[in-house]
Amino acid sequence: VFAVDSDSEHFGKVSYALNGDDGEFFDIQDDGTVILMKELDFEKKSSLRVNIRASDGGEPQLFDETILVVTVTDVNDNPPIFEICPLSAVVQEGIQPGQALLTVVLTDSDSEDNGGRFRLELAGEGADAFSFDTLMNLITTRQLFYTHREQYDLNVTAYDAQGLSTTCLLTIYVKQQSRHPPEIQPLLVMLNTLHGEFLGGPIGRVKAIDKDPSDMLRFSIVDTNTAGSPSQPKTSFSMHSARFFIDPATGDLTAQSDILPGLHRFNVSVTDGRYIVYAPVDVDVSNIDQDALDHSVSIRIKRLSAEKFIKSHMRRFYESLAHILGVPVTNVRILSIQNLYNNATHPNSISSPGHAIKHRHRRDQSLVDLDVLFTVSRGESRGYHRPSFVKQRIERSINELLTESGLEIVSLTSEVCRRDVCLRGECRDRLWLENVDLQTLYDVDGTSFVSPRHIRTFECICRQGYAGRHCDVSVNKCSKEQCAKHEARI
């Protein structure tokens, strides 16, 4: 860059300076030459902006500014990447040529001009029995027979438009012909996210069985609008299904971290190498906001695991609470459920006659209890019922709840603070949801429940001179003794 100043001598001497978010990438010399200081990467940032200021030698300095825009061009420095590697597929003997076995999904960090259209090549003994179509589906080119060969170990090499490549191992299993198609179970996932944030991870498992004992099953996600024939499923992905991944061998389903609240619906297929069957997957993502936490109530249920609750009691739990509280079933929402082991009281809670519905003590401390955190909305965007109201209504109808739900309630908690908790301070209730290492996942018979783990506790705001969890620790002389006339607290 070049700047001129009409003043003479030191008043007209021009100096340059850089600033802005991308200023760290550049430096500027006394003559206005801009120098690159850090390596640029098109895949990380394709355009940079830096502000250049030219100042004179006066006092105060006069200056002018301009913006330098640097456009980074892409070079082909990234090979294609297989979404799944190694690859595996299964096919049954006698299947006609053209059978689709799997779809290869590739990504490339380079621009479209360099990544471009991918090309796939097969190598290895028996590779001529297979090929890839234009949609990157692996298909058979001839009939295969189990008695001739049971397994093919091949290499798949993916090339981008400029010739960079990546190789992945492909194993193809040849099985005897099935008599029965697989049976696949639909999956409903209830995923609660803390403040709309999900860090990504497992959310459930799609389950399938096959009456043919020697069959090997393979799972895949297919488009919501799948309407093709069993031998030629559609291979395109909807925006919903692109946020999910399924393990081809186990059916384990995972979700990406950027999943948004709402209902995500897609289909999953399973094949034994001859038959292909489909099942729907519904992932209902709900946000737990601070208002919901502030109006939540905890119920602890005796001798019941989360798995059994989901399988046999969840629907009746919703209906019983809704009936007692006089609200529609849809107004009752479970925020979190978790198994509790070897604890006789609510986690981090303080038992008292005014804060819990008590039953006889458990004889076997090793049995699991269940803690259910829920909230009740008023409906029509009118917020939530107060926890005290919900607690009082349930306490008043506790016998009815026990009869209708078939559950044994250990405690009902809406708060843990009471007068004697903080001896010399103010008690405040706290409800923590752990969204990192303590995410809970319960998967039972086609229903999966995923939520953060919750901890209900308290915090003492101590008066001056006191500390400790219960404000029961004196920290200076003033907290123990009254000040004399000639003394003052400081």
pLDDT digits (tens, 9 = 90+) for 279-296: 999 999 999 888 888 888
Cβ pair 255, 283 in contact under 8 A: yes
Residue type, 407: L
For 22, phi then psi, to 5°, come to: -100, 10
* Peptide bond between residue 347 and the one before it cis (omega within 30 degrees of 0): no
pLDDT band per the 50, 70, 90 thresholds, residue 354: very low
What CA–CA distance (Å, rounded) separates 356 from 321?
A: 17
Q: Is the pLDDT of residue 236 over 60?
A: no
pLDDT band per the 50, 70, 90 thresholds, residue 168: very high
Cβ pair 117, 78 in contact under 8 A: no
What CA–CA distance (Å, rounded) separates 476 from 263?
A: 57
The C-alpha angle with vertex 264 and arms to 106 and 204, in degrees rounded to 5, equals 80
What is the mean pLDDT of the segment spanning 312-322?
92
Token pair 């082909």 is at which residue? 76
Residues 6+ apart with CB under 8 A from 61: 55
Token pair 């008695």 is at which residue? 147
The sheet that has 252-255: what strands, in order across it? 201-205, 252-255, 244-246
The pLDDT, as a whole number, for residue 351 is: 33
Q: Are strands 276-288 and 187-194 parallel, antiparallel or unpaired?
A: parallel
Closest CA to 302 of 395, 200, 229, 371: 371
* Peptide bond between residue 60 and the one before it cis (omega within 30 degrees of 0): yes
Q: Is the pLDDT of residue 41 over 90?
A: no
The pLDDT, as a whole number, for residue 374 is: 93
Cβ pair 374, 320 in contact under 8 A: no
What is the mean pLDDT of the segment spanning 337-364?
46
Token digits of residue 315: 């629907």
Domains of the chain with CATH codes: 9-71 (2.60.40.60), 81-175 (2.60.40.60), 183-288 (2.60.40.60), 290-460 (3.30.70.3310)
pLDDT band per the 50, 70, 90 thresholds, residue 15: confident
Query: Could you tell me the end-to-end alpha-carbon distance of the chain, in angstroms, rounded to an integer?
Result: 61
For 478, phi then psi, to 5°, come to: -65, -25
pTM of the model: 0.66
Region of poorest pLDDT, from 132-146, 306-320, 342-356: 342-356
Higher pLDDT, 212 or 417: 212
